[in-house]
Chain A
């Protein structure tokens, strides 16, 4: 029932709570507290997946988040399918459905396994070597095939049905990792009342102590000490415990991102709970107690299912009470595997240990294991593993001190526990830009100089003895909290002897065996040899060429073996080879966690005008302009865009139209020096502009190119109402503030953004005055009393208004500014009167066409950051007599005065029905040899109802001199002939605005 490899007693699983999961259609029983891995092992299942490149059978290598092989697809229902879950991390819960990956048609019979036989083809860099030619095969054959074959799991195709949360938090001390060092650090750090967060990636806190049955701390069994420490921490109000929370990214200024998993482990997760939560923690100090990862040993076929890391065998036996095998051979080059062997033997498992070290180099652990009756072969090497879908034995041979390999013999095994030493988990330390130091005794990189406010402690810092780990953790926690407390712990000594070995010596031809370095990306020792032979000497190059360490496990198990091998081949010391860069995330993070609630309507905030609801009710189509939603056009019946725009344009030209211009940026510029400030910011002169008048203003960046434009009204001697483009408002205000605060602090001026204070209703067309006149009080609307480019204050519908007589359409027009809260009411009052006048609402598309007919530019459409006023034909606006304004000096730079600059012109196609593409290139002669010199490009192009033909604006080299001449414009298939004209197509004299 519970699986034939479930041990009769022990472990931290809850035998009172049975659970069952489904793996590839089989229902399997286990207990609460199992991981998917331990539950499968209880049923003697090791073969759980196929490898990435060669499709080799794979099982569990580790017991934790460093697992490279055992990646399963987890199915929690529609929209809740996750590929690539590490079986060693996923918690077993009742009803969980899992599938193996990367095989077809089934795990056992996989067509892709042919790759293993064809492996000589798939050497390092085979993509670069194989898919060179023919060129056209890339699109039709190589890329689709490679794409189809690439990747492990299948990406889900339904929208994610889960909810995700996001939280920002501050603490004084963040401790990452709740093993012995982290627990001691949290205890010390929280003694003085500082706010301490303790985060751990596992469900249960305690780290290695959770599977340590033999050590004692201060006279108590290790697990009892953990329980007491956690109880103490829980009792302290200043401590926050965050289990199932992986610190995956360490960013600037102690900004650490954690992914907390909240519901995946629950049998019946309440619907209101988010699945995962992103914590963005800003910590005063950080203690990294992230432990160490065990290294695999490199020998032929070291990837067979049933071959695990030695410590992982120990974890499965002690913590989960499952036997990964009944006949286990441990292979090691250090002392730590002896503890695993002793514990396995104590659980009744048949144990043999092979130690690469000669007898004399072994410590007291050797005698201790032999005393238990286990066979220990010292001075032996492993030549190869036997078995395909499950390891069946190990071929071993004595190794003389001179390196000579003796007679081989095969040890039968259904499980192997290998240990190649330990690698401190310095990922987060490195992400924080800390410098590493190579420690030859540990054969590992350890933290050296920290760049941020942090310290490493315990195995992450290269300490492997339990007592030292606890003391270092405690001191680090105290120091992080600003103290200097220390404490000695009485703990069982940990045997730590170790002699590094890169690839186990063998008598086989190294070119003919697969000894895996990176299990997830299927990189073998042979591949690394090949890469170095082909000239890739930098580890960063070897990494990219062979892809070692580039899989989702970030090379946790493989990096040191790869670096060591490269150093050995190059005959360089390891520190000279260096290490590759560690980057976030430490372990894979779901997109849901990163995105949090920012989905659907919350993906991007939308700005809506007071008239938005009205436009929606009228069936308007909207377009995005920056964050704004703007009414694009108002279709009637089944009109399309062009039909609607033609009708709206005609209505404005013949009758009157109403347009929501609220999104225009607005800045109030007030103060005794307001006019002087305006004089310095704009190219125009302002000192002589009378209150009550408006002027079209143009501003430059200091480099002389146009930044923005807009109508400016002078309301009083010391008060200007500035308008900017919709998208340019924040940029313009920032530009103004910059000069005011940093260059001219002596000016007494205040700048206030008023964009959202006013709703702006544009009423444009020959009947505009008649339409609004009865609604307006306190303003004489007569043509001579209120001429074009004037501004008045008064009331409309009883609401205070700043009434502008301005036009962006070329027609008589008004822009009615009213407090935003009254915007819709005034709009509706005007609209209610409109029937008799043929009033028509129009959108941004019609606005674009109308202004283009008149040749008015739009900043950002006709300009691109390299256009001067003169390029647009607006040089006459520049008040050249002013001693200075932003950009003035640059206008005198030689390039900005040179002949042949691109200038704004009109373009009329010979075929009046052809509407050019915006962005189309313009050439003088279509028959020039390629590359044809482009004279410029089309910036705006529309069908003009007023002209009853197509029109376009363009920037063309020496454009004004070309007026009247023929040019060619690109079309999707060829060129079309056109004529350069002045950039105005309708009412070029501009008389209609004065009506």
Chain B
């Protein structure tokens, strides 16, 4: 079980959280103007990297806040977590 650093509550066990998939995929500001391919990429295309990945987490059974974390998908080490709208300090794709 992961130990996830919620930026608001500190280290908490994984069972308090819900994963939200890859981070930093902005919803298009005017979805109606983009073509089907671009919309499909927003909806479904993910990088699924081996290594560092920025991903979204929701402290669902805690403060209910969404935040981002940098996790190594090989080792499951979490390098850092940061609030929505912030950038990670090191390493990952921001």
Contacts and interface: CB of A to CB of B under 8 A. Distances in A.
A and B bind: yes
Interface string B18-31: 10100000011011
A447 to B, nearest CB: 15
Given A282-B3, A737-B58, A743-B27, A433 B84 contact: no
Contacts of A893: 36, 39-40
A251 interface: yes
Contacts of B76: 252-253, 433
B32 A742 contact: no
Contact of A451 (B36, B56, B77): B77
Contacts of B3: 252-255, 282
B8 to A, nearest CB: 12
Among B31, B65, B78, the most chain A Cβ lie within 10 Å of the Cβ of B31
Contact of A741 (B2, B36, B84): B84
Interface stretch (A324-332, A760-768, A850-858, A881-889): A881-889
A734 B75 contact: no
A737 B13 CA distance: 21
A745 to B, nearest CB: 7
B56 A742 contact: yes
A979 interface: no
Contact of B75 (A451, A738, A888): A451
A252 B66 CA distance: 22
A890 interface: yes
Contacts of B2: 252-253
Interface in A709-746: 730, 734, 737-738, 741-743, 745
A745 B65 CA distance: 12
B25 to A, nearest CB: 10
B65 A741 contact: yes
B80 to A, nearest CB: 14
A703 interface: yes
B85 interface: yes
Nearest to B56: A742
Interface residues of B, number: 29
Interface string A116-128: 0000000000000
Contact of A883 (B32, B34, B43): B32
B1 to A, nearest CB: 5
A249 to B, nearest CB: 10
Interface in A252-303: 252-255, 282
A745 B67 CA distance: 13
A253 B1 contact: yes
Interface string A75-106: 00000000000000000000000000000000
A737 B39 contact: no
B75 A433 contact: yes
A738 B31 contact: no
Interface string B60-94: 10001110000000011110000011000000000
Nearest to A894: B36
Interface string A229-255: 000000000000000000000011111
Contacts of A702: 27, 43
Nearest to B32: A889
A738 B56 CA distance: 10
A252 B1 contact: yes
Nearest to A251: B1
Contact of A889 (B1, B31, B60, B75): B31
B53 to A, nearest CB: 15
Given A252-B2, A738-B58, A745-B84, A890 B39 contact: yes
A677 to B, nearest CB: 15
Contact of A738 (B20, B32, B36, B78): B20
Contacts of A894: 36
Nearest to B4: A253
A883 B30 CA distance: 8
A742 B23 CA distance: 10
Nearest to A753: B64
Interface string A363-392: 000000000000000000000000000000
Nearest to B39: A889
Nearest to B58: A734
Nearest to B29: A884
Contact of A888 (B32, B34, B60, B64): B32
Given A253-B2, A894-B36, A742 B43 contact: no
Contact of B84 (A252, A703, A742): A742
A742 B39 contact: no
Interface string A630-671: 000000000000000000000000000000000000000000
A817 to B, nearest CB: 24
B43 A890 contact: yes
B66 A737 contact: yes
A884 B31 contact: yes
Interface string B27-61: 11011101010011001000000000000101010
Interface string A477-520: 00000000000000000000000000000000000000000000
B66 A742 contact: yes
B35 to A, nearest CB: 10
Given A252-B76, A884-B30, A888-B32, 8 more contacts: A253-B78, A255-B3, A282-B13, A451-B77, A738-B58, A742-B84, A889-B28, A892-B32
30 contacts: A252-B2, A252-B3, A253-B1, A253-B2, A253-B76, A254-B3, A255-B3, A282-B3, A433-B76, A451-B77, A452-B75, A734-B18, A734-B58, A734-B60, A737-B64, A738-B66, A741-B66, A741-B84, A742-B66, A742-B84, A743-B27, A745-B84, A884-B30, A884-B31, A888-B31, A889-B34, A892-B32, A893-B36, A893-B39, A893-B40
Interface of B: 1-3, 13-14, 18, 20, 27-28, 30-32, 34, 36, 39-40, 43, 56, 58, 60, 64-66, 75-78, 84-85
Q: Which 10 A-B pairs have the closest CB atoms?
A: A889-B31, A253-B3, A741-B66, A451-B75, A255-B1, A252-B76, A252-B2, A743-B27, A742-B66, A742-B84
